[in-house]
Structure 1
Amino acid sequence: MKKMRLIVLLFTMLLLALASLPAKAQKVVLTGGHNVIPVMYESKAGPTGFAIEIARTAMERAGLEVEVKLYPWARAVAIAKHGDAFITGFSYTETRAHDFAYSDLLVNENMILVTRNGHEIPFDRAEDLTGRQIGYLNGSTFGPEFENLKRYFNPDPDTQTSRRIQKLMMGRLDGAIFAQSMIAYFPELFNTNIEDLTVLPRKVGESAMYLATAQNTAHATLMTRINSAINEMHADGTVAALYARKYAYP
């Protein structure tokens, strides 16, 4: 009888010990584009960029163990759509919403209008851009403000940022639209001196970025926890700090 009590006692103690151990964090994969500087890219120290760091921090605060794997953008989207990963820096469309579960807003990227230094154009109201030749990434939309501006300027869409800068510096564009965060990297990326450019003070729109994963998957059920962490990070200034950081050039 005593032996049986001892066995029960030892078994109970073992259960209590196991229950007191910290829960092992769930492992998840975070993906995105491999060469979108400074949003998400491979550096010598590993994957980084503000969309990576904001997403990774939120997921870790939500109690997840995060492995970052970056790919060409189309492949990253396909992996996330299959339910094998979360994808960061993801824009919202109604078409995508059929397949993807979205987080709350990660970060808004300001889109700005840039001219050659000494060739500035007035931009106090939309009508100031009437007849101006403005370059931007083909297929882009940056919200209602941008769509309204397109009614006035002459659109000159392209598929390469380097080509847009070249046309701007050659005087073939009156202005060009870029993500605000990219300007600081122009010398390294495009051999362009920032002093040769003028950033006009009024933004032309915003690029809203989210975290997303496939609908109706185990990953999608984690979004509530992740959203709580994202909102906490907006409130305590972490998102703003990670967005403003100067990231290492590869």
Structure 2
Amino acid sequence: MPTPNTNTLTVLMAEQRGDRDQVLPLTKNVIQLFNYLEDTTKLKIEVRRYPWRRVLHNAENGEGFIFGIYKTIERQQIYSFSEPVYSDKIWLMTRCEDHLNYNGLPDLKGKTIGIVQGSSAGDEFDSQVNVLFKPEYNTSSLAGRFSKLYQKRMDAFLLYDPRTNLKEMQKEFNQIYATDIDEYRKKKNDIFCILPKPINVIDAHFAMSIRGDKALLEKLDRALQQARKSGELDRIFSK
């Protein structure tokens, strides 16, 4: 296992790819969080972005800390987790024309749901993959997921986003990913709809290999505790 640089915090994150297969930039709230942590811990944060399965593998082998990972029973055998950083919401992105309703997992019976390989939506949801519903496994390309959805290769896909303003989120995603669809260009009616009830609301953490040195994790936890007490975490992730 690599020996960590005690002055650097290597952070491993899932890459998200746009409509031209470009890696999308970090969001403003993530940048603000990392700036805060650098100021508070006096560590230099080095971000490395990979497909999600590689993020999990590399962290297990000691390359660095995963950012934005959820606790599951299985993962707690592999990783040590930080204090919660924010609460992520897991939405269902659908085709508006289908008028799908979601009030609970039974509503997904027989559906095909897009899931990024290696990701989790909580133990209850994960346990129903290939039981209640069929998975359509996807890559880190968000554009690819929207394309599959439009082509009816799946009924919905999981969208991880801490925001709660669904109207603005839906408008944003349609402006980006429906722009080449004739119906959207002519009528400006949304092609893609976010269902109003999330699959889950789940805490996101930093995590490192359970076999690694916990000194950096303890320093990170102290900074996160301070940020929560001061209201800084709420300020960063309320946007």
Q: Same fold (TM over 0.5)?
A: yes
Correspondence list, 1:46-85, <5 A: 50-51=29-30, 53-58=32-37, 60-61=39-40, 63-73=41-51, 80-81=59-60, 83=62, 85=64
Equivalent residue letter for 1:205: N
- Counterpart of 1:108 in structure 2 is 87
Identity, % of aligned positions: 17
Report the Cα offset of residue 199 of structure 1: 1.2
Q: Any conservation in 1 of the 2:112–2:136 contact (CA below 8 Å)?
A: no
2:217 pairs with 1:223:
yes
2:168 pairs with 1:201:
no
Mark the runs of 5 or more structure 1 residues left unpaired by the alignment. 1-25, 246-250
Equivalent residue letter for 1:163: G
- Counterpart of 1:20 in structure 2 is none
Distance 1:106 1:170 in 2: 36
Correspondence list, 1:95-134, <5 A: 97=76, 100-134=79-113
Given the two structures, how large is their TM-score scaled by the length of structure 2?
Answer: 0.66
Change (3 A) 1:72 1:149: closer
Q: Which protein is richer in strand relative to its size?
A: 1
* Aligned partner of residue 136 in structure 2, secondary structure: strand
Report the Cα offset of residue 223 of structure 1: 2.9
Equivalent residue letter for 1:123: Y
Report the Cα offset of residue 216 of structure 1: 6.0
- Counterpart of 2:12 in structure 1 is 32
> Which one has a bigger Cα radius of gyration?
1
Q: Which has the higher contact order (CA 8 A, sep 6+)?
A: 2
Equivalent residue letter for 1:198: C
Q: Any conservation in 2 of the 1:103–1:212 contact (CA below 8 Å)?
A: yes
Report the Cα offset of residue 200 of structure 1: 1.1
Given the two structures, how large is their TM-score scaled by the length of structure 1?
Answer: 0.64
For the aligned residue pairs, the C-alpha RMSD in angstroms reads 3.8
Q: What does the per-residue CA deviation read over 1:72-99, in whole Å, with 9 as the maximum and x for residues that have no partner? A: 3566666655656444223445565455
Distance 1:96 1:186 in 2: 31
Q: Any conservation in 1 of the 2:34–2:45 contact (CA below 8 Å)?
A: no
